[in-house]
Amino acid sequence: MKTMKGPAIFLAQFVGDEKPYNSLSEIAKWAASLGFEGLQIPSWDQRLFDLDQASESKGYCDDLQGMLKGIGLNITELSTHLQGQLVAVHPAYDEMFDGFAAPEVRGNPSARQEWAVSQLLKAAKASKNLGLKAHATFSGALAWPYVYPWPQRPAGLIETAFDELAKRWLPILDAFDEAGVDLAYEIHPGEDLHDGVSFEMFLERVDNHSRCNILYDPSHFVLQQLDYLEYINIYAERIKVFHVKDAEFIPSGRQGVYSGYQNWSERAGRFRSLGDGQVDFKAIFSKLAQIGFEGWPVLEWECCLKHPEDGAREGAEFISKHIIRVTEKAFDDFAAGASDETVNRKILGI
């Protein structure tokens, strides 16, 4: 068992062009004032972070960490969610995902993919320079348009897609292994790795790579109606990053999991600020403490109703209250006797 560090916050949803959200030093002071102790940093946003410098310069990383430590903060992980998405893009999504890429590779899928891979390789080096243990990303998707198919999928289509996905990611996983950093895929609808079965399909194809791991976010499992507590039991050894995000699923006679193309506030399944949804976080924090989870509980705010500043303020307190300081002794230690093999055998009648 292990007591978690934290709370921490993922900055992606809070970055903006106005103070205090437009620079790392200012947003860090804001986060610290709310009670956060860790920051998960989106590597694509140069208002906060220069991935090129971080991958090349240990000095840049040391200066960054020194500045944050002066504010009372640590970097929990870097994130390449947007770049990871571009490692594998089905042509149906080319236009919509093009905006995630650098301007010079937009409109050119092969160049975009090469750029995305280079970004992940830089993130491995940057994570090593920062002394980080894990990294957060998306897998991308080649098979997602066929998740619920009509007409039926041709035989072998999904197998071919996952073979290709593994082929693209294996060199990246090797680079993270060389850096000594776990690559944690956020298991998420819209990604080929969206539940347990799909993660296992991928894991098998990358030869059970030790760096192929999971970013656990229970909100995505509520929306899929998947047992998010049993998921921890099954994949305990692979869970390396934890997004603390709430959600609710309220089906009606008109909509269910697919939500009838409605916007977020009108969907049966929707994300909520911490404590406003249906996720059983007491059980989750208990299970993660029991398995000895060594990462940080990281707030990800994506509520469709509440203001983000309120969600962040309430979220820091919510996470702090749920972190379990694990016990160092059993409750019945007072009744324990000394170990004596002779006595034990006598008790057993042997």
Q: Which pLDDT does position 132 carry in this prediction?
A: 98
pLDDT digits (tens, 9 = 90+) for 75-126: 999 999 999 999 999 999 999 999 999 999 999 999 999 999 999 999 999 9
Could you give the CA distance from residue 70 to residue 251 in angstroms, rounded to a whole number?
47
Q: Which pLDDT does position 32 carry in this prediction?
A: 98
Helices (H) and strands (E) in the chain, counts: 13, 10
CB atoms within 10 A of CB 300: 25
pLDDT > 70 in the chain, percent? 99
Going by pLDDT thresholds of 50, 70 and 90, the confidence category of residue 336 is confident
The mean of the pLDDT values for the chain is: 96
Over residues 33-43, mean pLDDT: 98
pLDDT digits (tens, 9 = 90+) for 49-77: 999 999 999 999 999 999 999 999 999 99
Going by pLDDT thresholds of 50, 70 and 90, the confidence category of residue 327 is confident
For residue 203 the two structure tokens come to 């894991």
Whether residue 151 is predicted with pLDDT greater than 70 in this model: the reply is yes
Interhelix angle 281-291/228-235, rounded to 10 degrees, is 10
Spatial contact of 100 and 125, defined as CB atoms under 8 Å apart: no
Which residues, in sequence order, are CB contacts of 129 under 8 Å at separation 6+?
54, 55, 57, 58, 60, 61
User: Which residue type occupies 345?
Assistant: R
Whether residue 331 is predicted with pLDDT greater than 80 in this model: the reply is no
Whether residue 254 is predicted with pLDDT greater than 90 in this model: the reply is yes
Is 8-348 a CATH 1.10.3210.10 domain?
Answer: no
Could you give the CA distance from residue 289 to residue 302 in angstroms, rounded to a whole number?
25
Could you give the CA distance from residue 117 to residue 54 in angstroms, rounded to a whole number?
16
Q: Which pLDDT does position 335 carry in this prediction?
A: 66
Whose CA is closest to 183, among 215, 206, 205?
A: 215
Per residue in 280-295, is it b (16+ CB within 10 Å) or e — as a string? ebeebbebbbebebeb
Q: Which pLDDT does position 330 carry in this prediction?
A: 76
Q: Which pLDDT does position 228 carry in this prediction?
A: 98
List the chain domain ranges: 8-348
Interhelix angle 157-179/109-129, rounded to 10 degrees, is 30
Which residues, in sequence order, are CB contacts of 232 under 8 Å at separation 6+?
216, 239, 284, 287, 288, 291
Q: Which pLDDT does position 210 carry in this prediction?
A: 98
